[in-house]
Structure 1
Amino acid sequence: MGGLGHTLGIYCEDEKIIEAFAIDKPVARIIINSGTTFGGISATTAVQPSLTLGCGSFGNNITSDNIEPQHLLNIKRLAYGIREMPKQEADVKVENPALV
């Protein structure tokens, strides 16, 4: 089944119904009171403009974002340690020490 997790639309004025719909549906974006074709790419909504839309884990994608140029860049991050992990003694009884 193609498109799982992509986009759904609902025309409704009742916020409780919209919220229940959003919670229930396994999709990355729900367009409310606007067409999904143009709403999903930001022509009629305030989502990030894009012509490539991720489906998230619902559709076995790595992202549910609207794909932007920043998603196409390889960004290297340097992460310095800022704290040590607390040391804990193992409280485990080992029957065969050779397996440790």
Structure 2
Amino acid sequence: MANNNNKNSKYFIILDIVGLDVSHLDSSSQKYPNISSLFQNEGEYGYMKPVFPSVTSTVQASILTGKYPRDHGIISNGFFDRENLQTLFWEQ
């Protein structure tokens, strides 16, 4: 890994936290102090326009591909098994 001492370098982090709201990042809120501290020293954050349906697999596929659900095809947290004609969901 290269050692980069350029102070103008930009780094980014994608936080994929279900239910995280911009109000949770407010420095006056102590709900998530470690996450909030990322933005106290010139850190920036942006807003993501949510996709619909806003379920985990659909949103993550949109983040990873940069496409809408109609284009990437992931529209739920499960998949349709055409052979058995049923919807299957991942189990935790």
Q: TM-score, normalised by structure 2?
A: 0.20
The structure with more radius of gyration? 1
Larger RCO (CA under 8 A, 6+ residues apart): 1
Q: TM-score, normalised by structure 1?
A: 0.19
